[in-house]
Amino acid sequence: MVMIDFFKKKIYPPGFLLGGYKILSTIGEGRFGICYLAELDDKQYVLKVIKPNAIKKSGNKLIFEERILSSIDNPAIPKILEVIKTDEIHVYVLEYKKGRTLEEMIFDDGHVFSRCEIYKVGIALINIIKYLHERNIVHRDIRVPNVVIDEDEVYLIDFGLARLVDNDRYIPNIDFRCLGHLLIHLYYSSFDGTNKKSGPWYEELELSQKELIFLKKLLGLKRKYMSIDDVEHDFEKIFPREDIVSK
């Protein structure tokens, strides 16, 4: 009964035991669940507790995250290790990837991303997207809160909206559009808008012609990309490898 009371408040306090895991802190809250950092046998995990109203509204849609994460094995994607289900709770136990999200780095830390860093984040995400698309999976939520950076490691988290490609609603260029918006966020980290009249991103940012065309194609403002291989090809042309390696 105590567990139900806490669940109605939508938050478990530090020290609370949930399925044997000790809650350490709240990581964040999304549309479908609340994520906690938890500990068991001196090892840290992420517990994603699905909200009761999400279960009622979404029903079988919730099984997509579990099925998709159970079907893939990539070091850049947290593994699903266990599912805890009772009458009161529905919890995914996930591998913990330490680091800072891009959102935290940009808005909390004030981090300014260099071109070298933008390249490294971008090419890492392209490789993750390629891995997913080869398995007919679209993530659909590649945003700054869902990308974790730990030194040179880049992780993609939160597969709550991920689906299998159906060539109708769930199509690969959804992820291209998300990648475009994410890269624009990284470019804006170095933008100084002082005493400048605000305008659209393609006027405010100092971009090369190749960068401008690339981002517009990702967003579907120009001819859309049809495959992640084409995205990778054009991205590599924007950032010559010798320039990146030398920095």
Q: Which residues are annotated as a binding site for ATP?
A: 57
Beta partners for 33?
Answer: 50
| Range list of H helices, 113-227 | 115-134, 173-188, 201-204, 209-219
- Distance between CA atoms of residues 221 and 151, nearest Å: 33
Q: Which token pair is 245?
A: 């390696």
Q: Retrieve residue 51's tokens.
A: 């909200």
Chain centroid to CA 87: 30
Nearest to residue 33, comparing CAs of 52, 18, 17, 20? Answer: 52
Residue pair 211/170 in contact (Cβ under 8 Å)? The answer is no
Assigned token pair, 212 = 């401008």
What residues form the annotated binding site?
57
d(CA 227, CA 76): 21
